[in-house]
Structure 1
């Protein structure tokens, strides 16, 4: 955790703890200072003390959820302003203090009225909200000034035996009663208007709007309804029903809970953007992306319009261009443009207007879409590059095969023919020398002929190793048995490849088997080996098995690596099963792409 963040958390925790201590001090000290015959019931005091604790706890949660700190500060202010009337028994002898507290003891009502107004972004949006806030703040200032300047020594002993008010400028109880009742009635009316607006908006709203609004309208409406009833009983100077007071306190405490629950819900919606990231791994499949986005935002009206560079317009996955009504900023929907880091247009996302309150959610959606498009582009580029590399490797292999064939043909048609002609001439010369009794010359020529035959045999073996002529003339069915016959380890051969295979496949298969049998002879310590070649499901499968010591691995030696490189060059796969002491099985599968060469 960063030092700055730790400092902010410590300061906020200290503030919350301080206001909780202050609230509990006022509650407990006021209860103890009140004479027993005037004390309220313990259950009421407990419920009254729980309300600010709920606001304090919700302030901590709201601060952690953020990003706007205003709602959390308002909840902290509520705790400090939640002044129980019994507390005036504690400060009744402090003349400069109790009038100020009396003027502020109802200001807590501003918080539960304004919290729904700034929900969920922590700021005002509509002009009517600003008017309502102005009314609340205006009447609160009037009440505070009226209480400080017009209230004298309270006559009700259950309130306090307070000393005279040093700030009093006039003895006008009637005027203050009018201000007092007017403050309560106007405040209740404004709260009812706000609750009605939220409730109507929630009922008429779309699914995203209802999800974002959550429980706030119900909580606020329950509190304002009981508040209005309490205002009426206060104006009539009658005692309020205990059940009504309890319901009012419970509803009042539910307002911050609803607030943080709704904010947490929007935060969880941002977390669900992670579901979109799973799609980005495969790139932006346009139809699937739009469906997943609608499911993530819980907004069936979501539409995604992609930028068509060729036609210079936005269109959905089906190619239908965006309509003017969809792009109308005055409608019930908003448009979220998504562009690349360089400013090139990517898409437009039409969504429910209520989601504009969740800026971080929309930022996450934009980032996910950009990442999806980038992943798709990079994936296409990588696949194109890999295909180019594969084709390049295949061309190199084909060129190598052609070069081998050309060298073998040149050796056969050139050097071998010259050596054969030279051998025939030497044979004629040896015969002529023997006929003329030049025995020594004939003997030397015979020795030269033997050396020439050895060189010719080695040259033929070299040409055969470069490219066997049997493979060109008869395919694997002729070349593999001949190859196995030259292995010092007895090999059982089963070749079932019918007809001729593509030339590159045959050449690759032959040299894979050649290197595999060379490894058997050099490293396996086997007394017997088996070779099988057959075509199955469009693949040529080669299996080389021996009864040697096992322990072979692609990580050991260059023989296996040579086999792996040859197989990989034609898009094949290689499997090695070589448990220690149980022999080695080499399995190679080479795709034929459905194209078999004619015999």
Structure 2
């Protein structure tokens, strides 16, 4: 935990503890100082003492999750100002103290009203909020001045000392001000509650979600407060049942505040789900649908920037209209741009969501990241496709180079050697006819050496590009290749006609390298080679009964096989348990290859 954060937590904990201690001290001392016959019931007193505890606990939560510090501070102020009437039996003899306490006796109601007004932003916003708060504060100040300057000790049935601040006795003025103050408070509470309740009923789903339980709690409190004010104005006593319901309603206000803020915070957490859904790129239809579910706003629309046409359009390509851009009572427009300022999209959402800018910031970040992921994914796929095509061109160039070398060897050096051999044969025959046996013997030895060189040259040319593969395809080349393997090989090649040269040469050299590995490393006594077309793929299977233990990383030969197969977009699988032989399975797709074969006339 960071030192600064730890210090803030300690200071807040001390503040809450001191406020709770002060409130409980006033509650307990006032209850004990009140004569037994005048004390309220223990259950009511307990509930009365619980109310500030609820506010204190909610203040700690609001400090942690709230959008601002003001709500938590208002809750702490409520705890301090929650002064029970019975405390006058403790301070009644202090002529300079009890008038001030009596003047701020209902200040907690002003604090509770302002707490409702700052929900959920954490601050006052709009003329309505400012007017309501201003009227409440002015009424509080007027009542405080009237109480301090004109209230006599008879306003509290506690045998209080004379008012040290009293300028004159004005019981009528005090009574009118006292009742008016309570009526104004009730009126303001009803106005706030009614306004919130009407807005909640008429609002969209997102607005109701954000408002949550606050209108209900405030309306319940305002209703009981009204009944209490009427009772107070008539008899100066409050009904215990009404008082109990009022206490419960008051305690529900900070709980509703924290519940609503917590719910908005959880909405921001759902942006992570939005990121998960769109992590592979911003599919426009899916993005708008997922965003509507995340914000719980069916009216959400997303308009994407069309770089070609220079305008915004929805997922279907319909351009944004002036009606969508116009500032209306229930909707707002959230522009989303790249870090460099390039436009990405416009999000039209319910206006109430502007109160939760952290949520909208998270949505903007999610959209930017989703677009970047989609763009990066497209670039990677395009790069991989270019690499694949480049590798294929390299393999094709290698095949063509081998054919050219084989053709050059056959038409060039090989033909020259054949012609030279024929001339040497004629010379040897002439030497024998002339009786020059020594020359004839030397020429015969030269002919033998020339034939050996010619055979090696033919084998070299055959290895570079086997002529049987060119003339007869895999059906002729694979059996001939298996016949040169020192391990007995059973061959099964299904006749599927000729395949493209690149596919046939790749398959041939894969089989050749596999048989070479079997001869060198497997210690097998038998091997099997199978080639057939299955579901549009050329499937090669090379199997032996050797010692097993082979792997793709076992040497350069296997790496070469893997590279050749990757170049034609094929797959390679090896099963080689120790002591149970090795099975090499290769699948090469023929979809594009068949089209290429038709182009080549094969």
- Kindly state the Cα deviation for residue 485 of structure 1 after the two structures are TM-superposed: 0.9
Mapped to 1, the partners of 2:183 and 2:20 lie a distance apart of: 29
Structure 1: which 4+ aligned runs deviate by more than 4 Å? none
Deviations 1:279-308 (A, max 9, x none): 332211111111111111111111111111
For structure 2, the 5+ residue unaligned runs are: none
Contact map agreement 1:325 1:331 (CA 8 A) in 2:
no
Residue 90 of structure 2 corresponds to which residue in structure 1?
Answer: 90
Match of 1:151 in 2: 151
The corresponding residue for 1:574 is 572
SS in structure 2 at match of 1:325 = helix
> Displacement, 1:163?
2.5
Q: Is the Cα–Cα contact under 8 Å of residues 281 and 372 in structure 1 kept in the other structure?
A: yes
Q: Residue 231 of structure 2 contacts residue 239 of structure 2 at CA under 8 Å; is this kept in 1?
A: no
Deviation at 1:153, TM superposition (A): 2.2
Q: 1:463 aligns with which of 440, 461, 464?
A: 461
For 1:364-443, list aligned pairs within 5 A.
364-443=362-441
The answer on whether the counterparts of 1:397 and 1:569 sit within 8 Å (CA) in structure 2 is yes
Aligned to 1:301, the other structure's residue is in SS state coil
Please say if residues 541 and 587 of structure 1, whose CA atoms lie closer than 8 Å, have aligned partners that are also in contact: yes
Equivalence for 2:448: 450
Alignment deviations for residues 156-215 of structure 1 (CA, whole Å, 9 cap, x no partner)? 44xx33322222222222211111111110011011000000000001001111111111
Q: Deviations over 1:38-94 (max 9, x none)?
A: 221110011001111111111111111122111111111111111111122222233
Report the 3-state secondary structure (helix = DSSP H, G, I; strand = E; otherwise coil) of the residue aligned with 2:588: strand
Q: d(CA) in 2 for partners of 1:547 and 1:53? A: 81
3-state SS of the aligned residue for 1:326?
A: helix
Query: Hey, what does 1:335 align to over in structure 2?
Result: 333
Q: What is the SS of the residue equivalent to 1:401?
A: helix
Aligned to 2:115: 115
Superposed CA deviations along residues 333-373 of structure 1, whole A, max 9, x for unmatched, are: 11111111111111111111111111011111111111111
Say if 1:540 and 1:592, in contact at 8 Å, map to a contact too: yes
- Cα distance in 2 for partners of 1:28, 1:551 equals 84
* CA shift digits 1:390-431 (9 cap, x unpaired): 111111110011001101111111111111111111111112
Query: Which of residues 471, 494, 497 is equivalent to 1:496?
Result: 494
Equivalent runs, 1:65-464 vs 2, <5 Å: 65-154=65-154, 156-157=156-157, 160-464=158-462
**Aligned CA-pair RMSD:** 1.4
- Cα distance in 2 for partners of 1:240, 1:247 equals 12
In structure 1, the residue matched to 2:33 is 33
User: Structure 1 residue 484: deviation in Å?
Assistant: 0.9
Report the Cα distance in structure 2 between the residues aligned to 1:207 and 1:309, rounded to whole angstroms.
34
SS of residue in 2 equivalent to 1:314 = strand
In structure 2, distance between residues paired with 1:87 and 1:155: 14
SS in 1 for 2:540: strand
For this pair of structures, how many residues does the alignment match? 597
Determine the C-alpha separation between the residues in 2 that align with 1:345 and 1:439: 96
Q: Given the two structures, how large is their TM-score scaled by the length of structure 1?
A: 0.97
Kept after mapping to 2: 8 A contact 1:339/1:346: yes
Shift, 1:33, TM fit: 1.8
Distance across 2 between alignment mates of 1:115 and 1:371:
37
Q: Following the alignment from structure 1 to structure 2, what is the Cα–Cα distance between the partners of residues 343 and 108? A: 48
Instruction: Please state how far the C-alpha of 1:435 moved relative to its aligned partner.
Output: 1.7
* Secondary structure, counterpart of 2:116 in structure 1: coil
Distance 1:95 1:104 in 2: 15
Between 362-371 and 10-19, the greater mean CA deviation after superposition: 10-19
2:88–2:156 CA contact under 8 A, matched in 1: no
Structure-2 separation of matches of 1:453 and 1:101: 125
